[in-house]
Amino acid sequence: MSAESGEDTGIKGVLVTDNKGKCLLASGAAEDVRIRAIISDSEWLEDAAERRFVPILLNDARFVGFVSPYPAGYVVLISSPPADTVLQFVMRVDFAYDILNHILNDPYDAMTIVDANAKMAYISPVHEKFFGLEPGGGVGKPVRDVIENTRLHLTLKTGVAEVGQVQRMKGVDRVVSRYPIRHGKKIVGAIGRVMFKGPQQLEAMARKISDLEGQIETYKSNARKTKESGPVDFLDAIIGNSLAMRSLRDQIRKIAPLDIPVLIQGESGTGKELVAQALHQLSSRKDQRMVTVNAAALPVSLVESELFGYEAGSFTGADRKGRVGKFEQADKGTIFLDEIGDMPLEVQTKLLRVLQDRIVERVGGDKPKRVDFRLCSATNRDLEAFVEQEKFRLDLYYRISPVTIQIPPLDQRREDIPLLLNHFVAELAAQYGRDVPEVEMEIAHHLMERSWPGNVRQLRHVVERAFVFAEGSKLKLEDFESGPGDDTAPDTERATSFSTSGGGSLKDALEDLELHLIHDAVIRFKGNKKKAAEHLGVSRSYLYKKLGTGTDA
């Protein structure tokens, strides 16, 4: 008979003997006198019981025997081999049973088996422990209810193996392979193998691969810099391979050649100025200047002299030679108005006139000058809400936002954190003249689980602090644990650490907390006390008063 067909496999017979090989019970194929003659040999039984799996070969049939001792003798299960390869394996490997036992219990290579209905039939002990299951606790349950992000149910449907895929389970990435199992031409189940824990050599190999990938990316980047001009450099500086960041770069490529005003919106620290630089460098104005203006920092009394310039001797304290305004500096180039949402209304009115007419006149001058510039603006404010609240002019909003680019916050693209981590480490190594350190694999997972209200800017700050204070040539997880100035710590951790920082009365503690929050706000807004006061919901006079009484002011 042909074992390759797979149509005639399964238990064919059972035979029970005493310790000397005398037959006590025979059923099915075991009733064949030839098989009984083979099994009745006590030496054969002892050898077979040690091997567990043994071939039983007759002139007209081939079987595999599973031999197990019991207190009064031996039990032999006789089965047709599912394929010639199985028979060859059992014939040639004396320890075939031990290999099977090792495969099922391997702590580094876990196994999950599902039946044709995608229900768990078997799960390795190490995998049960990983998922917090009791032995056999997953059996009979739908695999999707037990294993996060599994695709075994899809493997059953498609019949296509998936080899070397990355699957995230309980916050950890594992390398998995999935295979359909066939009985003849019918898919009867599927098996998943997981590179589970991994020896140290595997982790070392992963680090080497990561380092090599980084080097290759550096070589590619250098090659592009050699062949192409600056624009690609600025686009490459927008780090991230998430769908959101790929879409962002595509938007920049499409919008940059168009000489149209662009409003860049995003939270503080997301990289709005990088986007503005990329828009400028990919435009036809790339050979001219990009002039940056912090719109929120423009005082009403000096806005005209800053934006439009002034003639010599036009007012007390003016430069003897006069000064060219920001718009004149940006002539034929790009002007970037950062934080335009915080611009005072009086300044907005003066800005609107220039944007409409494209004509500036210096303070103290009488010669209007036409200027040609491309306008980019940026804000972390909701300008539409500001328009409704009459904090921002509607006509100015329409003037600056024919096209809007939205930058996603870091919390919405956590998958980019490993790339940003490697980029910052390499950048800091060059900045401080050090070798690029090795980075523990757990660090990226740790950073991906934290909150990032300060976005990419905050992430770079955390990486830089860890880089500066790290011991040796390796960045370790403990280098990234919460410390002074670490805003990634959960709110409960910060509150607990503050509340236990000292004794004193409740009034003293509240005053200390208030000062702590005020100082944090001033630092967050780079010394801009007006913005800090707005953020805290207090008046500027109250803020100045508290800073005046604080010992750290």
SS (H, E, C) 479-511: HHCCCCCCCCCCHHHHHHHHHCCCCCCHHHHHH
Q: What is the pLDDT of residue 317?
A: 59
CATH architecture of 3-100: 3-Layer(aba) Sandwich (3.40)
> What burial letters (b/e) apply to 69-102, b meaning 16+ CB within 10 Å?
eeeebbbbbbbbbbeeebbebbbeeeebbeeeee
Residue spans of the domains in the chain: they are 3-100, 106-197, 229-408, 413-547
Average pLDDT, the chain: 81
Question: What CATH number belongs to 106-197?
Answer: 3.30.450.20
Structure tokens at 432: 């401080």
Amino acid 207: pLDDT? 61
Q: For residue 84, what pLDDT is reported?
A: 63
- Tell me the CATH architecture of domain 413-547: Orthogonal Bundle (1.10)
pTM for the structure as a whole: 0.50
Fold: same for 3-100 and 413-547: no
* Residues 187, 156 contacting (CB under 8 angstroms): yes
The single-letter code of the amino acid at 68 is S
What pLDDT does residue 345 have? 87
**pLDDT at site 406:** 95
Residue 159 to residue 433: CA distance in whole angstroms: 53
Low-confidence ranges of the chain (pLDDT < 50): 1-7, 198-199, 226-231, 484-485, 487, 489-502, 549-553
**Residues for the chain: how many in total?**
553
User: At the fourth CATH level, which superfamily is domain 229-408?
Assistant: P-loop containing nucleotide triphosphate hydrolases (3.40.50.300)
- List, in order, residues 6 or more apart from 443 with CB less than 8 Å away: 421, 475, 476, 477, 480
pLDDT of residue 392: 93
Q: 77 has which bridge partners?
A: 14, 66
